[in-house]
Amino acid sequence: MGGTGARGRKARRIVKILVTGASGMLGGAVATALTLRGDRVRVLQRRPASLPGVEEQRGDITDPAAVSVAVDGVDAVVHLAAKVSMTGPWSQFQRINIGGTATLLDAARDAGVTRFVQVSSPSVAHHGAGLVGVGADPADPDRARGNYARSKASAELLALAADSAGFAAVAVRPHLVWGPGDTQLVARIVERARSGRLALVGRGTALIDTTYVGNAAEAIVAALDRAAEIDVHGRAFVVSNGEPRMVAELVDRICAAAGVTPPRLRVPVAVAKAGGSVVERLWSSLGRTEEPPMTRFLAEQLSTAHWFDQRTTREALRWSPTVSLDEGFARLAAAYRAS
Amino acid sequence: MVSGDRSMVPAELPGLDPAWSRLVTAVDSEGVERTWHVLDTAGTDTGAPDTAGPSGYAGTLLCVHGNPTWAYLWRHLLARFSQPDAPPWRVVAVDHLDMGFSERTGTVRPLAQRIADLGTVTDALGLTGPVVTVGHDWGGVISLGWALRHADQLRGVVLTNTAVHQPAGSPAPTLIRLARLPGILPAATVSTQAFLRATLALANPPLPESVRNGYLAPYRTPRRRAAIGGFVEDIPLTPEHPSWSALTEVAQGLDRLAEIPALLLWGPRDPVFGAAHLRDLRGRLPQAKLHRFEGAGHLLAEDADVAGAVVRWLADLDRPTPNPVRSPSPEPAVPWRPLWAALAERAEDRSVALVELAQGGRQVSWALLWRRIREIAAGLSASGVRRGDRVALLVPPGADLTAAVYACLRIGAVIVVADPGLGLAGMNRALRAADPAHLLAVGRGLAVARALRWPGRRFGAGAGAAMLGVTTLGRLARIGAGSPELPPAPGPDDDAAVLFTSGSTGPAKGAVYTHRQLAAMRDALSALGLDPKAGIVAAFAPFALFGPALGATSAIPDMKLTAPRTLTAAALAEAAVAVDASAVFAAPAALRNVVETGNALDDRQRAALANVELLLSAGAPVPAVLLAQAQALMPGAQPHTPYGMTEVLPVTDVTLDEIVKAGRGDGVCVGRPVPGVEVAIAALDPTGTPAEQPGSAAGVTGVTGEIMVRAGHVKDRYDALWLTERTSSRNPGWHRTGDVGYLDPDGRLWVQGRLAHVLTTPDGVLTPVGIEQDVESLPQIGRAAAVGVGPRGVMQLVVVAETRPPVRRAGPAEPKLADAVRAVTGLPVAAVLVVPTLPTDIRHNSKIDRSRLGRWAERVLGGGRPGGL
């Protein structure tokens, strides 16, 4: 994986790795990839992960007792567990994303863990304007947009601040991860397209990077393997497929893969943003917990460019995507046909 | 005494390093101790010289601001020279007393005192080494005053939008006149910020608010603004003014600087200092390099990269490259033959030289043409047109233009030719840049010239002009017939012409040709296979001018030569009939219309076209299909399409057969260099930067790089564009074309696009033309453009295309089309956008404006609306 040859594989000591948040699509993919190459993997999450060959521990990332049990005897940690949502009160994001990361970092250092991969998000450095061909700017909790991004920014800063001799911390920021089994981006687009409620913001011409889940998992594994290297530890890396596409085209492709009709509705950007804010407030006040159809954050995300300079990432991690967008869409289509 | 212990400069001003700020105290010429504020790259908080120390410097740039700015104006210069790769020059920018953050003395300080004050500061700073003065506005005068008093240490002078003399007949700058109306001055300049804000509003593009606040920072109260009024009052508009003699002394002293290198950097959009002031300065500093920054204005240091220009100019100063004597290109084997030689030789020839087909037609014999040329030449001369004077010609191709052109050339006047295809705005910029002393135009041209207040004394051509009461060509000829004495002919290395580029890659540039170079262009054209005994149809403006010089009988078809699309097959054929044509020149757009109207030809017209042996189409890439279709109308002709540009034409030539033989490649095959032309390639590195030196012919086969050309008919220089000229001719003897391409193993040149349009992607450099050809091979695509979005090095490839049938509004392509585009190019195309029509240049109507398209794509793919292309 990630450029490690057969010789490297033989030479490598069997290590034990904790993956948090493995019930999600990306966490599951990371745990599976590590297991498949022969690492011993323990996972920590609240819901069952149901991954073969993996030692499963159920528990909450904010529970110090559960966390210290989870890190006991592991060499490395990949931290994915987070509250991923576009709405919700700040206190929850703070408790889970910031508090959870702090708890895990403390426990990991106490347990003698030597490598720590913080799975982060490019939104931690995003101030609302477009991101065009940029690298990984420093995380900025003050100016990041929305509770999720702000809390993840703080969490990343915590993790990178913990980087020290004997504890190599690195942050990986995959952008818009998707693939078969995705309940976030893909499932929502498909579900709304099916019910005729999907509208494109503007003409959908904003250029957006995405990451096929397998590529993101490989990048995280590569970061884990190289965490101690001089040009890797203490740094953050944006990860994407390096094949930005217009939002309209992405939506079209996803709908085509799922066999649903792509949207014909278009919502002007300003309306979407204003509407997003209203819906956001209304949704929260109604006490609804599932995601609202449009938030201001999402409207911004879908109406401004987000694509990245991948040169540093690929050089430092010695990683590059193995699944192209087209191949990814084909796999997605196969998964939909099978279900 | 120098002290740097305190400063009133706000801690944070955009672009200003607080470490530059220091105070200098010294006794002025009146014996009073004064404190100046200066920005100094060698200054530190302790007032001690920086690490390098003054001795580490090659010299000092002494920057002098005008009114109502302060040393902040020069912050980009200070910043640039603080960088490690800058030439080792210290930058000192002084705030005049009562200005910026210098002391408020409460005194009135006229020009002479200001000049003395500057000397006091430089003495206090101990500036003993070489100094280059840099001045703006009224600071330009003060800096020159300092320069004249410090000749021993003066290394050069740099001037930006300034003047030392109010040229006769030109009104005082409006702002100044308004500000000096009785009762207005104190209100405009001191008690309010009106004058200050009006000046800052001249910046183009507008200044960010934070920068504007930087300029306002020292002038927050009326008391602190007192000197702004004083400065305006100190501008002497009449000899009675107390500063008149000081100003005159500076102006007249400039001839003592003849040996001093000078750089004039100019923003033409300046209501304060205009073309007349620039002309005056050029006259006084004839050695000065001049660069006009098109689109920039009065606050030039804000609008343009003045620092970058000064860095380059200093580099040339410190490392004097032996400026090659004129014409380093291989000398022509034959002695110089003036452009009018063929005409003079046929002075007795009564046969037809020129046929105009428009408006009922007109024929002119060689004898009459030459007689008219001589008469007009004598008439112009008698009317005060001197050798070296520029004459703008706004006359459509035909007998009048031909006579006017050769008359001007014969007396050494320099013709200025700007194609109306540039559009009014483009013409306006071009004529202001060339600044002709005379302007010869038809009625409409005169009206436009008057409306837009173009420079130059007026002459007219045609009936419309006669009615406007200007001296017409007819009248000039009559004057000339009365006093037929002609002044001596110009020499081969005198300027002959300023020809403007099409402006499809930024504002049109003036290319200056000498007589030798124009003659070489004639000879290169003749080498394309022209038989002087044959008739030619000149449906392409440049050839309409060169026909008589080639000694060929020319027919100008009934069309608007500036709108190539107006040429019909019948009009072309009638012109061919008129001169029994064996050669046809037509722009690609003209040829396209000829092909489309070919069905309307009758038998007689078809027969005339069948006699054509040579078909030349140039000006823009010509698709082989089009050449083949044109050949079907002219079955006896071999189509050629020479490659070249306003700066050197032709460079290469290729026949349709050869194009077919070469097959598909990554670009357009333009064939092999014409005789006397050398082509070389400066390979691009992964950042898209061309090598400084061309690769050897053997080593560059298949390598993409900037196309370089060496020939006797390359332009002499760009006009008033010193920086551009420096870039294009940095390899002595070579012209850097700004085009990219490669040479194939058979020695053929392939053009791949413009250097400015090269895409630097993470996977390497891509050139647009080959990609576009691939996309255009799809049946559902009309024309296509490949542009890059994003920063250099990580650009994403975007294809923008016209579809068949065209879409009604711009937007993302359907997935199926995007798939087809990706498949046919085999490249990672990030986005495919479809548009109703792609923007093209006005002149050729065929060169896609990729720069504009790139900016549009950048905006749309950033999430903007796809309208507004």
Q: Please report which helix (H) or strand (E) contains residue A27, including its range.
A: helix A25-36
- Kindly state whether residue B360 falls inside one of the protein's structural domains: no
For residue B531, the one-letter residue type is D
pLDDT in tens, A292-305: 655 666 667 778 89
Q: Does A333 touch chain B (CB under 8 A)?
A: no
Residue B504 is predicted with a pLDDT of: 67
Dihedrals phi, psi of B443, to nearest 5 degrees: -50, -50
Residues B770 and B678 in one domain: no
Nearest residue in chain B measured CA to CA from A248: B812
Residues B19 and B147 in one domain: yes
Q: Enter the tokens of residue A230.
A: 């001089």
Q: Which domains does chain A have, with CATH numbers?
A: 7-179+211-241+307-323 (3.40.50.720)
Mean pLDDT of B446-463: 92
Task: Indicate whether B29 and B122 sit together in one domain.
Answer: yes
Q: For A139-182, write each residue's pLDDT tens digit.
A: 999 988 889 999 999 999 999 999 999 999 999 999 999 999 88
Asked if pLDDT for residue B81 goes beyond 90, the answer is yes
Answer yes or no: do A304 and B865 touch at CB < 8 A. Answer: no
Alpha-carbon distance of B424 to A29, in angstroms, equals: 63
**CB–CB of B431/B418 below 8 Å?**
yes
Distance from B799 to chain A by nearest Cα, in Å?
A: 12
Instruction: Domain of residue B739: give its range.
Output: 643-726+734-756
A79 in contact with B, Cβ within 8 Å: no
Task: Specify the pLDDT at position B327.
Answer: 45
Say if residues B828 and B809 touch (Cβ distance below 8 Å): no
Domain boundary among B318, B336, B351: B318
pLDDT for position B846: 66
Judging by DSSP bridges, how do beta strands B668-673 and B648-653 pair with one another?
Answer: antiparallel
User: What pLDDT was estimated at residue A283?
Assistant: 52
Sort out which chain A residues have CB atoms less than 8 A from B795's CB and list them. Answer: 133
- Are B305 and B446 contained in the same domain? no
Which residues in B lie closer than 8 A to residue A246 (C-beta atoms)?
Answer: 812, 831, 861
| CB distance B525 to B650 below 8 Å | yes
Chain B hits for A241, Cβ within 8 Å: none
Report residue A4's pLDDT band, with 50, 70 and 90 as the boundaries.
very low
pLDDT per residue as tens digits for the range B22-73:
999 999 989 999 999 999 999 753 344 444 444 589 999 999 999 999 999 9
Is A202 part of the contact surface with chain B (CB cutoff 8 Å)?
yes
Classify the C-alpha dihedral B398-B399-B404-B410 as positive or negative: positive
**pLDDT at A256 > cutoff 80:** yes
Q: Are residues B679 and B827 in the same domain?
A: no
State the best of A201, A207, A243, A252 to mutate against chain B, taking most chain B CBs within 10 Å: A207
Judged against a pLDDT cut of 90, whether residue B741 lies above it is answered with yes
**Per annotation, catalytic residue among A27, A51, A144, A148:** A148
Does residue B431 lie within any of the structural domains? yes
Q: Which residues in chain A are contacts of B789 at CB distance < 8 A?
A: 132, 207
CATH number at residue B139: 3.40.50.1820
Q: In three state form, how does the secondary structure of B370-397 look?
A: HHHHHHHHHHHHHCCCCCCCEEEEECCC
- Kindly report the number of other CB atoms within 10 A of residue B852's CB atom: 17
CA distances for B87 relative to A150, B317, B577, B724, angstroms = 45, 11, 65, 20
Q: How far is it, in rounded angstroms, from Cα B518 to Cα B340?
A: 11
DSSP secondary structure letter of residue A94: I
CB atoms within 10 A of CB B205: 9
Asked if residue B813 and residue B784 are part of one domain, the reply reads yes
State the pLDDT confidence band at B347, using cuts at 50, 70 and 90: very high
Same domain, B129 and B255: yes
pTM, two decimal places: 0.87
Domains identified in chain B, total number = 4
Q: Which band of pLDDT confidence, cut at 50, 70 and 90, is reported for residue A118?
A: very high
Nearest CA of chain A to the CA of B863: how many Å?
4
Spatial distance between the Cα atoms of B155 and B157, rounded to a whole number of angstroms: 7
Asked if pLDDT for residue A34 goes beyond 60, the answer is yes
The pLDDT of residue B391 is 97
Backbone angles phi, psi at B518, to 5 degrees: -65, -40
Q: Which residues of chain A does B796 touch, with a Cβ-Cβ cutoff of 8 Å? A: 133, 207, 244, 307
Kindly indicate the confidence band of residue B428, based on its pLDDT and cuts at 50, 70 and 90.
very high
- Confidence check: pLDDT of B594 > 80: yes
Out of A203, A256, A311, the one facing B794 most closely (by C-beta) is A311
Share of chain B above pLDDT 90, in %: 74
Distances (CA, A) of B700 to B683, B686, B692: 7, 16, 14
Q: Are B614 and B529 in contact (CB under 8 A)?
A: yes
H or E segment to which residue B556 belongs: strand B553-556
Partners of residue B291 on adjacent β-strands = B265, B721
- CA-based nearest residue in chain B for residue A255: B815
Distance in Å, alpha carbon of A269 to nearest chain B alpha carbon: 9
Pair B45, B142 in one domain: yes
Whether the pLDDT of residue B175 is over 80: the answer is no
Give the residue from B481, B508, B535 where a domain finishes: B508
Mean pLDDT computed over B190-201 = 89
Q: Which of B762, B815, B860 sits opposite A205 (nearest CB)?
A: B860
CATH of the domain at B659: 2.30.38.10
- Per-residue pLDDT band for B10 (boundaries 50, 70, 90) equals confident
Probe site for chain B from A126, A137, A205 (most B CB atoms < 10 A): A205
Asked if B447 contacts B400 with a C-beta cutoff of 8 angstroms, the reply is: no
CATH code of residue B423: 3.40.50.980
Q: Is residue B280 included in any domain, yes or no?
A: yes
Which pLDDT tens digit goes with each residue over B606-636? 999 999 999 999 877 788 889 999 999 999 9
Q: Which amino acid is at A171?
A: A
Do the domain assignments include residue B606?
no
One domain, residues B442 and B403: yes
- pLDDT of A208 reads 93
Residue B738 scores a pLDDT above 80: yes
Indicate the Cα dihedral angle A86, A90, A91, A95, nearest 10°. 60
Domain with residue B773: its CATH number is 3.30.300.30
- Is B594 inside any structural domain? no
H helix and E strand count, chain A: 13, 15
User: Are B64 and B72 within 8 A, CB to CB?
Assistant: no
- Residue B690, strand partner residues: B684
Query: Chain B residues with CB-CB distance to A under 8 A?
Result: 762, 789-791, 793-796, 811-812, 815, 818, 828, 830-831, 833, 858, 860-866
Q: Quick check: is A212 catalytic?
A: no
pLDDT for A275? 57
Cα separations (Å) of B13 from A9, B50, B79, B196, B216? 57, 22, 13, 18, 11
One DSSP character per residue, B405-459 reads HHHHHHTTPEEEE--GGGHHHHHHHHHHHH--SEEEE-HHHHHHHHHTT-SSEEE
- Distance of alpha carbon B42 from alpha carbon B59, whole angstroms: 12
SS3 content of chain A, % helix, strand, coil (to 5): 45, 15, 40
**B59 in a domain, yes or no?**
yes
Residue with tokens 């590195």: B685
Query: Under a CB-based contact definition with an 8 Å cutoff, are residues B809 and B796 in contact?
Result: no
Q: Are A317 and A210 in contact (CB under 8 A)?
A: no
ipTM value: 0.89
Give phi and psi for A89, each to the nearest 5. Answer: -75, 150
Residues of A in contact with B858 (CB under 8 A): 132
The mean of the pLDDT values for chain B is 90
Residue of B nearest to A209 (CA): B830
**Of the residues B451, B477, B508, the one at which a domain ends:** B508
Between A and B, how many CB-CB pairs are < 8 A? 77
Is position B219 within any domain? Answer: no
Of A61-75, B503-517, B714-728, the one with minimum mean pLDDT is: B503-517
Q: Indicate the SS3 state at residue B141.
A: helix
pLDDT of residue B544: 79
Amino acid at position B840, single letter: T
B396 lies in the same domain as B379: yes
pLDDT digits 0-9 by tens, A238-247:
999 999 999 9
Inter-chain touch A130–B863, beta carbons under 8 Å: yes
B380 inside domain: yes
**In the predicted model, is pLDDT for residue B511 greater than 50?**
yes
User: B780 or B863: which carries more pLDDT confidence?
Assistant: B780
Sorting pLDDT into bands at 50, 70 and 90, what band is A14? Answer: low
Q: Residue B52: its pLDDT value, please?
A: 44
- Residue B1 confidence (pLDDT) above 50: no
- The 3-state DSSP class for residue B115 equals helix
Do B421 and B498 fall into the same domain? yes
Write down how long chain B is. Answer: 869
Starting at the edge strand that comes first in sequence, how are the strands of the sheet with B362-365 ordered? B362-365, B352-356, B553-556, B535-539, B581-586, B614-617, B638-640
User: Are residues B417 and B378 both part of a single domain?
Assistant: yes
